[in-house]
Structure 1
Amino acid sequence: MQEENNEPIDEEFGNQETITKVTGMYKDWFLDYASYVILERAVPGIKDGFKPVQRRILHSMKDLDDGRYNKVANIVGHTMQYHPHGDASIADAMVQIGQKELLIDMQGNWGNILTGDSAAASRYIEARLSKFALDVVFNPKTTEWQSSYDGRRKEPIDLPVKFPMLLAQGAEGIAVGLSTKILPHNFNELIDASIKHLKGKNFSIVPDFLTGGIADVSNYNDGKRGGKIRVRAKISQIDKKTLVINEIPFGTTTSSLIDSILKANDKGTIKIKQIEDNTAANVEILVHLPPGISPDKTIDALFAFTNCENSISPLCCVIDDNKPVFIGVSEVLRRSTDHTVELLKMELEIQLNELEEQWHFASLERIFIENRIYRDIEEQETWEGVIKAIDEGLKPHIKHLKRAITEEDIVRLTEIRIKKISKFDIDKAKQFIESLEDKIAEVKNHLANLIDFAIDYFKNLKLKYGKGKERLTEIRLFDDIVATKVVMRNTKLYVNREEGFVGTSLKKDEYVDDCADIDDIIVFRRDGVMMITKVDSKTFVGKDIIHIAVFKKNDKRTVYNMIYRDGKSGPSYMKRFNVTGVTRDKEYDLTAGTKGSSVLYFTANPNGEAETVSIVLRAVGSIKKLKWDIDFSDLAIKGRSSKGNTVTKYAIKKIELKSEGVSTLKPRKIWFDETVQRLNVDERGDLLGEFRGEDRLLIINQKGIVKTIKPELTTHFDNDMIVLEKWIPQKPISAIYFDGEKEKYFIKRFMIDNPNKEEVFISEHPKSQLEIVSTDYRPMAEITFSKRSIENMTINLEEFIAVKGIKALGNQLTSDKIKQVTLLESLPYVPEEVDDVEVNDEEVIENEDITFELDGEIEDDKNNDEKDSNGQIKLF
């Protein structure tokens, strides 16, 4: 290095830093190192899909291949002849290849990708090439060779791989300035895509993982930079207190998954009682829940707060023409398939050349022996004379040959043994030549129809090796889980209203609600100011708090009713509004903004309720009307910044609650999205109906289990569900089923007596099976029997049996084997009309607490009770 600044140092300022310029070898070394790491270590080649160390391992295994297993340590040592790095890196790379279960036939403990257990030492495990690897990876005749790092041996530049190996195995590496992450894809799907490409059809490929699980590939972006996939564990519910994880996401192990669940439990975002790992050949993690914890909500919480859901960002970077390039996996497959076609063409051309050479020499051999040309050399005394004599003897018989005779051909003729000449069979020689001609014609036909030959090649690969390589990862669209909706609220929120503090550490003050660390809280003050802030141990939000709650973002059903005075002596206004989203820690003035404004009345209504209140004025001056009622339901719900409607310009003495209100919101429409198996209010999927607070969903599955549930958006549904609809208690459920114990078919109709209980309505014998179920009022069904001699039967289920209890066996339909039951169009249903009831002036109709007297006023015992200011309604 040379110093750029050679001026003397000023003694007054002491030693100063000098600027140095990097020159010489240092200038290029970093670039050389970066190029080496990119090209020779971290990034796979597009032609064969291997990194250099993988290529050298497979080449060494081919060198050592004798059909038997070799010690991995022996293979590693042999690979070091080609690979300029240590044995540990070679052994690790070999284990990774083996765990992908494609190229290496393993013996011994090679580790476990499910549990994360490492492989045994290389001296204890053995390996050999798989039959698939021997078929598609190697062919020395089509391989280009180069000198090894020390020049002592030859190694392949690229292995002649006739399969999209890079996409089947995947690859991951970090180089200098770039990285690559290519996800593995399904063996059979890659073959199908290659065939489609050869046929000129469009195709798409998505990842598939040996760990199984579920993946949302909607943003895969063909594996390019900027894409993303989400992977989830497969979680199911055994019972109300136990969940089981049977498949884990790619990139995790059972150990890391369990650790993440325990950490989330310690943080309080989820709540579990115990976790049990029963993983052996297959994953089985049991998650035991405490009493009172929702399994559905816990499943969502596992996805939101643990490694049960991960996000993977693919980045397809490969080496092409000695340079790194970023392309999509579809382009990788196209390039790989085209390269396979080129290799197949090369193999066919080599095979054709070999067959033609065999045919050429077999023809020469036949001419040489059949025409006894070998006798012409008896009188020759020199080698040149022998060659010339044979050449002259062959000339009259070689017009049909495809190429000229060379001296090498003649030398080979002289090497024919006397024994072969004496036992030469002309007929066999003709048959052999004809067989060669057939093979030549076949190879030429393959070359002429190269694409069809390549398609057949891929089909044969799938037929030979595709069994047992079916897709393991389920492809599904994921619904977005809102963390605040599924978090376990294990922290208590407190408030000091007068001093204006809120937080989880104020345990001596007023308890508000359970909350979680990730929650936001909404606060309303007496001065009409609202703000939203994060849950913390202690936060000052302003004095005179009138309402505080855990905030639900985008909640359009919670409606706030408010009456406030504008300024110290101004008029009073009333308003209804909701809060769907605001900037955190910003104060919002809900009044008209006049200094001295004050909230006189405030309620928070989770379902949009609108109460009636009595306004009482102060007796000042000549005011005639001091009291009147106002119904909040007459007021439209507007934005929080609206001024509101005028109540009065006079001073209000007090506001009294006259009657509690009912919801002014429309019933909530709920849809079911079959793609993600979830309920939603975003108009995705099929509309189930409009639901009020008391309405429920009816669910029936193929096992004959019926239940009703509240339509909560977090509910999970089983795959064997056959009925999902709004439950109408008056509608009977009709079913045709096979009783395994009696070995007969029965029909039953029943109502649900206990909506809170899950019940089985067919017999619980293992062979019992539900044929059809209908929730129509008057269903019709057609029965097709297995015996052709029995005619089809049409059944009116309403006439066949009356509505009975859910535990009733039903009426016997038949003991003959039924082939199929088909529901027909139901008969029209006309609801029964209720006759009008005539009453006298003196008659009284009673209904619970409310009594209606026809000749008097309406009396409501509930509403006549005087309400105080305690409870949910706050009165000031």
Structure 2
Amino acid sequence: MEEHNEELHADNQQHENNTQDTITKVTGMYKDWFLDYASYVILERAVPAIEDGFKPVQRRIMHSMKDLDDGRYNKVANIVGHTMQYHPHGDASIADAMVQIGQKDLLIDTQGNWGNILTGDRAAASRYIEARLSKFALDVVFSPKITDWQLSYDGRKNEPVNLPVKFPLLLAQGAEGIAVGLSTKILPHNFIELIDASIKHLQGKRFQIYPDFPTAGIMDVSNYNDGMRGGKVRVRAKISQLDKNTLVITEIPFGTNTTSLIESILKANDKGKIKIKKIEDNTAANVEILVHLPSNISPDKTIDALYAFTNCESSISPLGCIIYDNKPLFIGVSEMLRRSTDHTVDLLKAELEIQLDELQEQWHFASLERIFIENRIYREIEEEETWEGVINAIDEGLKPHITHLKREVTVEDITRLTEIRIKRISKFDIDKAQQKIDALEENIAEVKHHLANLIAYAIDYFTRLKKQYGQGKERQTEIRIFDDVDARKVVIRNTKLYVNREEGFVGTSLRKDEYVTDCSDIDDIIVFTRDGMMQVTRVDAKTFVGKNIIHVAIFKKKDKRTIYNMIYRDGKGGASYMKRFSVTSVTRDKEYDLTQGKKGSMITYFSANPNGEAEVVTIILRQAGSIKKLKWDLDFADMSIKGRAVKGNIVTKYSIKRIELKEKGISTLKPRKIWFDDTVQRLNVDGRGELLGAFKGEDRLLIINQKGEVKTILPELTAHFDNDMIVLEKWNPEKPISAIYYDGEKERYFVKRFLVENESKVEKFITEHPKSQLELVMTDWRPMAEVVFYKQRGKDQKPNIEVNLEEFIAVKGIKALGNQLTTDKVRQINALESLPYEEPEEIAAEDMEVVDEETVEGDDDDKGSDSKVSGDGQMGLF
């Protein structure tokens, strides 16, 4: 066997030696092939040029459309075929690129079915749709006299190296491309804002630009990073509540369409992340997706869940890469705008210089023509027999009269003079000729003034573009700072949690054991065992947490409202202690001892109270020795709330026989202060924004919108608020609401005062006529208003009047029409300072002190997560 291996090794060695003798290294034409290919893809296909904002295929399409332009529509198939003279690729790629340009609705005037960016529907075949250049494109994209030209790929045609675009087109349209080794993703920006930023740059002022998407939606640009690598833009659909069981999506995030959005919602529903009844897509010219909810599902919570689990929120990572000097360059959008604006100034200067040369040439020849005819120099050539003699005769005849000309007279000038027709000479009008020269001199002076004041001229140019083409191009995407949606708080409880108390198991697969609550697969659960141990763990199919479980529930991090009341025995035969504590933060899967750690310690009484309730219990001791008092009541309200590691207060040093619940308690927590952060349009308890007040469990918020609708809601931190909200405050059921509104049917202003009668529904308090509108609403106790009148023809100006609404009308029902304010024509109605009123004092809210907290730690996916508390307290007697 060893001999065979040696022979085999020798044969292999010999083969290797023979192979080495015949190896030939391949160099030459293979050496740079990949680099050439990569360069071609980067420069000629995927990345746009900074000069005009076009990729090569787009530039060639625009050039072809200019070739074919006669003011009428051309079949796209015809344009595509014409473009193939310049673009060395197939017709399909050209047609797709042209449709993308057309859908941006800036450079191409389209006709036919060009697809729908909202629904994702594709455009019709190129033989069925038509296009022509838009007026804007003809105005800013083309200028043949200042265009640099090069031969097309086959050498038969000339094509532009770059088109002389006098506008930041790259930023207006955006660009996306994947090359070899790099990519680009430049987001579209707003037309008007780009012009304003260009003007600011020319004025030497600072500017900032943000994306604006044709699909509208809402956008958070906090981390935009000027569109460079590492930046991020978060985009959301615009979702509002149509009624208590219906949500409506009216705008969608950039990069999605209604089809993909609905698919993501259905997928989240199938996975149990959200719960919906059905979806209707009514999208036509505008987006309208109706999401119908089951009757027991919170609309506000579902809106957050749509952002957390579907494409209703997505993140876009921009990457500013452009071609400059035949190389890729990574820069931000501000630098792109500066370069584009400076390039526009250079192009305007080049156009002015060419225009000046042309005007001066026209002036020069017009002056020569006048001298030639006025001084009858044409007669000098009658005797000449040769062409040279004719030229010399005219030249000699002109010399005494050309001292005011700005350049020398050339042979070409004299040749042009000889081409003037006799009919024109005979009808020559000296006055008209001088008027023409004077007009040319004015034009020359104007152009020279523009060149001398080039920046002002460029600013006027951009201002004209904004005025001429800016109508209808206002910002579509709303800029807002987003609050982070915590998936654990909004996920639908799509599974059930069970517990085996005696054996110490919790999980979703223990269906034969005790049911605890509904939960989701991303929840944490908190568990207490009889030996005084506490643990927080992730929901799983089956988890061992310790025998003799006394309490298990969904855990909510930073929950200061859930208070645990506990009595425990310190060691075997030791004294008993009582404590009240909250659990706000812990380390996941770590056991915490709630006793003093002595062997044999045991919890003898335990209750979990979701709103800080403090009950009264009866302590009954065992008969032993000379103990006189064997029974007494203990009120947990007498004890302050501390951290979970506190030792507690001693109850008794004797052995407790049993503990009985005597009386359920009420909340001992102070009312909770709630603020409204207008930036993110959300409630919070962290002191951000405007303080709305201190809220007890039954307190509600009053909301009034511009449509004349009023409703009250519980102050849940997940609540959503519409943009047309004009009143948000703590609701006092006893305080009237005062409103002045215009009735569309009666064409008069009315005043009414009313109380909210149904706190569980939205009610409209102005009339339903389409022209009815809310003018003024006040929630002060004694409001005052000022009425300003129009001046009537032939009459003196009627003085303003002040109206005490409290005296003007009594409080009536919400459906009452109210009292007519005036019969005169009202110009405007202003709110005045209300009359003084002493409101009853409210109990001040105080933040609850919680000590000895720890941070939740776990794997990377678990950090910073929390979940919704089930809401039901649990009590145990041992």
TM-score normalised to structure 2 length = 0.90
| Matches of 2:26 and 2:629, distance apart in 1 | 94
Output the amino acid matched with 1:818: V
State the SS of the aligned residue for 2:80: helix
Q: 1:774 aligns with which of 774, 778, 791?
A: 778
Which residue pairs with 1:148 in the alignment? 152
Change (3 A) 1:223 1:651: same
Which residue pairs with 1:731 in the alignment? 735
Q: 1:522 aligns with which of 521, 526, 547?
A: 526
Tell me, yes or no, if the aligned pair for 1:743 and 1:815 is still in contact at 8 Å: no
Which residue pairs with 1:61 in the alignment? 65
| Matches of 1:354 and 1:831, distance apart in 2 | 81
- Bigger mean CA deviation after superposition, 313-322 or 590-599: 590-599
Which residue pairs with 2:559 in the alignment? 555
Q: Deviations over 1:276-306 (max 9, x none)?
A: 1111222121111222222222222211211
Q: Deviations over 1:226-257 (max 9, x none)?
A: 22111111222222222221211110011000
Change (3 A) 1:747 1:55: closer
> Which structure 2 residues correspond to residues 180-579 of structure 1 after superposition, within 5 A?
180-579=184-583
Output the amino acid matched with 1:872: Q
Shift of 1:813: 4.2
Which residue pairs with 2:637 in the alignment? 633
| Matches of 1:472 and 1:458, distance apart in 2 | 21
- Bigger mean CA deviation after superposition, 242-251 or 807-816: 807-816
Change (3 A) 1:655 1:566: same
Shift of 1:440: 0.6
Shift of 1:197: 1.2
Which residue pairs with 1:827 in the alignment? 835
Structure with bigger RCO (C-alpha 8 Å, 6+ apart): 2
- Bigger mean CA deviation after superposition, 446-455 or 82-91: 82-91
Change (3 A) 1:774 1:325: same
Shift of 1:769: 4.1
| Matches of 1:449 and 1:431, distance apart in 2 | 27
Shift of 1:708: 2.2
Which residue pairs with 2:867 in the alignment? none
Shift of 1:407: 1.9
Which residue pairs with 2:656 in the alignment? 652
Tell me, yes or no, if the aligned pair for 2:551 and 2:874 is still in contact at 8 Å: no
Which residue pairs with 1:855 in the alignment? none
Change (3 A) 1:9 1:109: farther
Which residue pairs with 2:763 in the alignment? 759
| Matches of 2:656 and 2:626, distance apart in 1 | 15
State the SS of the aligned residue for 1:282: coil
Output the amino acid matched with 2:874: Q
| Matches of 2:30 and 2:606, distance apart in 1 | 74
Which residue pairs with 2:875 in the alignment? 873
Shift of 1:360: 1.1
Which residue pairs with 1:850 in the alignment? none
Q: 2:181 aligns with which of 177, 184, 191?
A: 177
Which residue pairs with 2:805 in the alignment? 797
Which residue pairs with 1:853 in the alignment? none
Q: Does 1:662 align with 2:670?
A: no
Which residue pairs with 1:122 in the alignment? 126
| Matches of 2:764 and 2:425, distance apart in 1 | 88
- Bigger mean CA deviation after superposition, 25-34 or 179-188: 25-34
TM-score normalised to structure 1 length = 0.90
Which residue pairs with 1:109 in the alignment? 113
Change (3 A) 1:395 1:12: closer
Which residue pairs with 2:616 in the alignment? 612
- Structure 2 alignment gaps of length 5 or more: 1-7, 842-871
| Matches of 1:348 and 1:399, distance apart in 2 | 27
| Matches of 1:832 and 1:640, distance apart in 2 | 38
Tell me, yes or no, if the aligned pair for 1:268 and 1:488 is still in contact at 8 Å: yes
- Bigger mean CA deviation after superposition, 180-189 or 575-584: 575-584
Q: Deviations over 1:512-561 (max 9, x none)?
A: 11112222222222232222222233333332221111121222211222
Tell me, yes or no, if the aligned pair for 1:9 and 1:16 is still in contact at 8 Å: no
Which residue pairs with 2:826 in the alignment? 818
Which residue pairs with 1:856 in the alignment? none
Shift of 1:812: 4.7
Change (3 A) 1:162 1:10: farther
| Matches of 1:389 and 1:577, distance apart in 2 | 116
State the SS of the aligned residue for 1:459: helix
Shift of 1:832: 9.8
| Matches of 2:141 and 2:744, distance apart in 1 | 54
Shift of 1:511: 1.3
Output the amino acid matched with 1:55: R
| Matches of 1:832 and 1:651, distance apart in 2 | 50
- Bigger mean CA deviation after superposition, 454-463 or 694-703: 694-703
Change (3 A) 1:101 1:813: closer
Change (3 A) 1:828 1:370: closer
| Matches of 1:162 and 1:95, distance apart in 2 | 23
State the SS of the aligned residue for 1:700: strand
Tell me, yes or no, if the aligned pair for 1:780 and 1:826 is still in contact at 8 Å: yes
Change (3 A) 1:754 1:114: closer
Change (3 A) 1:203 1:625: same
Which residue pairs with 2:700 in the alignment? 696
| Matches of 2:325 and 2:752, distance apart in 1 | 72
Tell me, yes or no, if the aligned pair for 1:9 and 1:15 is still in contact at 8 Å: no
Output the amino acid matched with 2:107: L
| Matches of 1:809 and 1:15, distance apart in 2 | 106
| Matches of 2:46 and 2:687, distance apart in 1 | 47
Which residue pairs with 2:595 in the alignment? 591
| Matches of 1:161 and 1:76, distance apart in 2 | 22
Which residue pairs with 1:159 in the alignment? 163
Change (3 A) 1:77 1:802: closer
| Matches of 1:744 and 1:130, distance apart in 2 | 47
| Matches of 1:830 and 1:49, distance apart in 2 | 65
State the SS of the aligned residue for 1:533: strand
Change (3 A) 1:80 1:808: closer
Change (3 A) 1:394 1:753: closer
| Matches of 1:800 and 1:109, distance apart in 2 | 59
| Matches of 2:540 and 2:827, distance apart in 1 | 65
Which residue pairs with 1:750 in the alignment? 754
Q: Does 1:132 align with 2:140?
A: no
Tell me, yes or no, if the aligned pair for 2:525 and 2:553 is still in contact at 8 Å: yes
Output the amino acid matched with 1:285: I
Output the amino acid matched with 1:214: I
Percentage of pairs with the same residue: 79
| Matches of 2:733 and 2:318, distance apart in 1 | 51
State the SS of the aligned residue for 1:637: coil
Change (3 A) 1:440 1:771: closer
| Matches of 2:460 and 2:287, distance apart in 1 | 38
Q: Does 1:712 align with 2:716?
A: yes
